């Protein structure tokens, strides 16, 4: 993955996003929730207030996958917030259900500096019901071919100790039980069941693995101008 990313612009933010419209406005944006987890040491369910609030007029709301891969410069902007947008959005999302699915998306799509750096893809393979329910399906061996074909470097969700995890280790990562996934830093000799990673070479050396072509194709597709033409725009 590092090999493929090294050939891409370093300012890209992989964050799947869409505008908050339709039913999401009434069911996500207007309700006010209280999350006791913000001030209690033990986790508990959120509770809903009877009050409702208007949709913000100073910024537009966006939502998407909670799984993001963003740049250091964008995170520094979220932390320092020199134009106060990140802090304003943070205060709003304090009382928003599933805030990880909206905070970064709303900040980046309302920022003049970063809104053109988005790639609307979360780099995950995820299987859903039809129509989608609240949570994705658990992946198993029947999903293996589609998972590989997608070219996605990540996938979710998996049940503990599901056989598909061993299949991924063996057929994708080339990892034997109880051993590391071999890389260019493994300089030992593979013979008679020995572990080549028992001898460590230069761990700064990267060599593309067998899935590099699938990953390159995915990144080529999602960073194309046709795909990125739907990236978020400035609020009006």
115-145 pLDDT, tens digit per residue, is: 999 999 999 999 999 887 778 999 999 999 9
The full set of domain ranges for the chain reads: 2-122
Q: What is the mean pLDDT of residues 86-107?
A: 93
Q: Which two tokens stand for residue 227?
A: 């795909």
Instruction: Pick the range with the lowest mean pLDDT from 84-98, 108-122, 221-235.
Output: 221-235
Q: Which two tokens stand for residue 204?
A: 């700064």
pTM, two decimal places: 0.85
* C-alpha dist (Å) from residue 200 to 78, 87, 172, 180, 203: 39, 46, 21, 12, 8
pLDDT of residue 234: 45
Cα–Cα distance, 20 to 56 (Å, whole number): 11
* Residue 97 pLDDT class (50, 70, 90 cuts): confident
Question: Which of 136, 135, 116, 141 lies closest to 125 in space, CA to CA?
Answer: 136
């Amino acid at each position: 993955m590092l090999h493929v990313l090294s050939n891409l612009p370093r300012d890209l933010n992989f964050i799947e996003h869409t505008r908050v419209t339709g039913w999401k406005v009434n069911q996500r944006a207007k309700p006010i929730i209280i999350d006791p987890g913000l001030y209690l040491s033990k986790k508990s369910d959120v509770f809903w207030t009877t009050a409702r609030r208007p949709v913000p007029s100073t910024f537009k709301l966006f939502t998407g996958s909670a799984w993001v891969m963003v740049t250091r410069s964008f995170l520094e902007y979220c932390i320092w917030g020199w134009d106060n947008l990140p802090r304003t959005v943070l205060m709003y999302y304090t009382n928003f259900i599933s805030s990880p699915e909206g905070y970064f998306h709303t900040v980046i799509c309302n920022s003049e500096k970063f809104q053109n750096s988005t790639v609307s893809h979360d780099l995950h393979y995820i299987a859903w019901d039809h129509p989608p329910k609240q949570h994705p399906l658990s992946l198993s061996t029947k999903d293996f071919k589609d998972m590989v074909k997608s070219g996605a470097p990540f996938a979710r969700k998996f049940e503990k100790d599901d056989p598909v995890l061993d299949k991924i280790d063996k057929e994708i990562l080339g990892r034997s039980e109880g051993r590391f996934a071999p890389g260019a830093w493994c300089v030992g000799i593979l013979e008679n069941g020995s572990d080549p990673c028992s001898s460590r070479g230069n761990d700064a050396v990267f060599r593309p693995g067998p899935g590099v072509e699938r990953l390159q194709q995915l990144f080529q597709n999602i960073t194309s101008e046709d795909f990125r033409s739907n990236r978020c725009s400035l609020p009006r």
